[in-house]
Amino acid sequence: MAEYALELSNLSRHFYLKNGAFKEPTLLKAVDGISLRIRPGETLGLVGESGCGKSTLAKMILGLLEPTDGDVLINDKMRGASSRLSMSRQLQPIFQDPYSSLNPRKTIEQIIRLPLQLHKIGDAKSQQKAVQDISDLVGLPERLLKNYPGQLSGGQRQRVAIARALILKPNILVCDEPTSALDVSVQAQILNLLMDLKKELGLTYLFISHNLGVVEHLVDRVAVMYRGKIVEQGTREEIFQNAQHPYTQALLSSVLTPEPALGLPEVLDSSAWDRAS
């Protein structure tokens, strides 16, 4: 067993933004020297505002984007050292938008089966069986397997995406805002499903979200990202009860609570965040 399921060391990704033909391009450090370690079986929540580099980080972990600098280690093996095919057996994504993550021209069965076909696992019959088993596991009714994604609800679609991610039995799931495109009522179902699957299969999660309420519900540890850097990380209790960094405090105070006395969140001076980091 590897010591860390997922380890990022000094991971960076820089973009050059063009400013027209004759001007110098601006350097954007989308992800700037991030180091993170996730132990097997642990759930790490990565929180931060839109545009802070969360999704760029996820893309690099998934191998969809080359890092400018730094390494991604999956179960102690360097990403890039082995093929995409073998990496995909260890780490799978769950994307944000279940409306764009399923090919609209394929049936649900074809979608869930695709990983097995690409990896040439089993014959037609055993693949079909595996699809049925995994559908049961994620709570997807079997009669939907012959349907197309367009005929399913958002929650059902996200279950399909989870089934597809799990059919290769990876030990790490990278969830990039897996519930933000769903109804509030469905969000809870999907989150509970993810929690149940974690217990049942011993999965490791990197859970990316801007929704602190969701993160508090799910994770063991939290890392707070701001402008491409991790500004604070700690256990759930440390972050939610005793945040040190002013950005984390601002983020926490911006969560709307149902208690009327608290009112609207205060707008804090953002220059303090930069000074602190």
Partner 1 sequence: MSDSTSTVSTAASASTFLPEVPEWRRMMNRFLGHRGLLMGSIILGLIVVLAILAPWLAPHDPYLQNISQRMIPPVWHEKGSWEHVFGTDKLGRDYLSRLLYGARISLTIGLSAALISGLIGTTLGVLAGYFGGRVDAVISYIITTRLAMPVVLVALAMSALVGGSLQMVIILLGLLLWDRFAVVARSTTQQLRDAEFIASAKVLGASTTYILVRELLPNILSALIVVMTLEMAHAILLEATLSFLGLGVQPPMPSWGLMISEGKAYMFFKTWVIAIPGIALMVLVLAINLVGDGLRDMNAPEGRN
Q: Which positions lie near partner 1, rule CB under 8 A? A: 62-64, 83-88, 92-93, 95-97, 100-106, 114-115, 118-119, 141, 143-144, 147-148, 151, 153, 161, 164, 168, 185
Distance CA 31, CA 223 (A): 14
Identify whether the C-beta of residue 209 lies closer than 8 Å to the C-beta of residue 46: yes
In the complex, least distance from residue 46 CB atom to partner 1, rounded to whole angstroms: 18
Q: Which is nearer to partner 1, 147 or 277 (CB)?
A: 147
Q: By CB neighbour count within 10 A (0-12 exposed, 13-18 middle, 19+ buried), where does 119 fall?
A: middle
Distance CA 153, CA 141 (A): 12
Q: Find the radius of gyration of the CA atoms of the chain.
A: 20
In the complex, least distance from residue 248 CB atom to partner 1, rounded to whole angstroms: 29
Identify whether the C-beta of residue 167 lies closer than 8 Å to the C-beta of residue 130: yes
Q: Which is nearer to partner 1, 103 or 244 (CB)?
A: 103
In the complex, least distance from residue 148 CB atom to partner 1, rounded to whole angstroms: 8
In the complex, least distance from residue 186 CB atom to partner 1, rounded to whole angstroms: 11
Q: Which is nearer to partner 1, 114 or 193 (CB)?
A: 114
Q: How many helices (H) and strands (E) does the chain have?
A: 10, 10
Identify whether the C-beta of residue 268 lies closer than 8 Å to the C-beta of residue 250: yes
* DSSP alpha helix (H) spans, the chain: 54-62, 84-87, 108-118, 124-137, 154-166, 184-201, 212-218, 236-241, 246-253, 271-276
Q: Which is nearer to partner 1, 80 or 270 (CB)?
A: 80
Q: Given its phi and psi angles, is residue 147 left (phi above 0), alpha (psi -120 to 50 degrees) or beta? A: beta
In the complex, least distance from residue 213 CB atom to partner 1, rounded to whole angstroms: 21
In the complex, least distance from residue 197 CB atom to partner 1, rounded to whole angstroms: 18
Q: Which is nearer to partner 1, 52 or 168 (CB)?
A: 168
Residue 63 exposure: Cα atoms within 13 Å on the Cβ side: 17
In the complex, least distance from residue 20 CB atom to partner 1, rounded to whole angstroms: 18
Q: Which is nearer to partner 1, 258 or 263 (CB)?
A: 258
Q: Which is nearer to partner 1, 48 or 178 (CB)?
A: 178
Identify whether the C-beta of residue 41 lies closer than 8 Å to the C-beta of residue 205: no
